[in-house]
């Protein structure tokens, strides 16, 4: 049996260590962004096709960017200003995307950014007071579910709330024929973490995203990558 030269083994070990360090750095960066929700908008999407994954992640991010905007932006408007992290999932491709909220708020239709310039009033003038519309705030129930994060923990919480009478029923989509009138909790199948929460359908067949207040639809989330729990509150 031939021996592998020591130099080749050393090179392989160094390469493996460098790869592991690089991966750990990416994970650390992603966790830092997720923990700074006052600073960043972020989301992620997974698909077998890299371009589909990238566009899907950007479309989800766009929902947050467009929240409370009078002039809605498109994917093409925000893409030049979005940062992308490509995560290797074997056969599947996952993109984690993020943008600073200050940058997102400064983007105009057409994709240009207008810098905000502070204007100092003269000694004899009074600065104008510009009314600011309050940002959408999820209700207490939605916040509690989102903070629970993981599928099994949410399931246990719903079970507890049902015992207390706060939840009348909950279950899986395949347990019901018509779920158009039901509120939904969506999970990523891979990570088991909550993606978002959707209200029941309105007259146009769309739902309200109860996390950011935007129009949304269950069709926006691939069925092969999404687990769903429906529920009925008291």
Question: What is the pLDDT at residue 200?
Answer: 93
3-state secondary structure of 230: strand
What is the β-pairing status of strands 194-198 and 40-47? Answer: unpaired
pTM of the full predicted structure? 0.48
Q: What is the mean pLDDT of residues 1-14?
A: 48
Q: What are the start-end ranges of the E strands in 1-82? A: 40-47
Distance from the Cα of residue 64 to its chain's centroid: 8
Q: Looking at the predicted structure, is the pLDDT value of residue 15 above 90?
A: no
pLDDT digits (tens, 9 = 90+) for 104-158: 888 887 777 665 554 555 555 555 555 545 567 888 999 999 999 899 999 999 9
CA dist 79 and 136 (Å) reads 24
CA dist 81 and 101 (Å) reads 11
| Tokens standing for residue 9 | 């083994």
Task: Please report which helix (H) or strand (E) contains residue 168, including its range.
Answer: strand 167-172
pLDDT digits (tens, 9 = 90+) for 161-201: 999 999 999 999 888 889 999 999 999 988 899 989 999 99
């Amino acid at each position: 049996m031939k021996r592998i030269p020591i130099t080749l083994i050393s090179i392989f070990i160094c390469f493996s260590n460098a790869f592991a360090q690089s991966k750990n750095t990416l994970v650390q960066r992603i966790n830092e962004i997720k923990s700074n929700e006052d600073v960043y908008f972020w989301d992620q999407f997974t698909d077998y096709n890299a371009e589909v994954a990238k566009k899907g992640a950007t479309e989800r991010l766009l929902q947050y960017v467009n929240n409370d905007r009078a002039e809605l932006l498109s994917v093409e408007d925000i893409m030049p200003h979005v940062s992308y992290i490509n995560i290797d999932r074997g056969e599947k491709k996952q993109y984690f995307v993020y943008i600073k909220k200050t940058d997102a708020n400064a983007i105009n239709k057409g994709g240009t950014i207008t810098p905000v310039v502070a204007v100092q009033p003269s000694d004899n003038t009074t600065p104008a007071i510009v009314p600011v519309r309050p940002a959408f705030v999820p209700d207490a129930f939605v916040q509690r579910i989102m903070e629970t994060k993981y599928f099994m923990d949410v399931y246990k919480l719903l079970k507890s709330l049902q015992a207390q009478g706060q939840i009348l029923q909950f279950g899986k989509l395949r347990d019901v024929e018509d779920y158009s009138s039901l509120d939904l909790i969506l999970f990523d199948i891979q990570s088991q973490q909550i993606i978002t929460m959707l209200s029941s359908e309105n007259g146009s067949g769309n739902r309200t995203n109860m996390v950011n207040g935007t129009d949304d639809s269950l069709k926006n989330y691939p069925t092969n990558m999404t687990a769903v729990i429906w529920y009925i509150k008291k």
